[in-house]
Amino acid sequence: MARPIEPTPTLEGEDAEALLRSLDDVATPEEMDRRVQASKQRLAEMEKRRQAFKLGVATPTR
């Protein structure tokens, strides 16, 4: 049987301050849009390959 997961300790002091500082370094809305577009493009490419493989036009790559 698996061991239970213990609760995460509360952040205090310098660790808490470091976390709050790191939250200020999130991606800008423009960067998030760029990431979303890149992900959609990769997904579309994978779907194209999957369809080609399904039709027997392509072979799996790796």
> What are the pLDDT digits (tens) for 10-38?
999 999 999 988 888 888 889 999 999 99
Phi-psi region of 13 (alpha: psi -120 to 50; beta: other; left: phi over 0): left
The confidence score (pLDDT) of residue 60 equals 62
pTM: 0.52
Distance, CA of 13 to CA of 3 (rounded, Å): 30
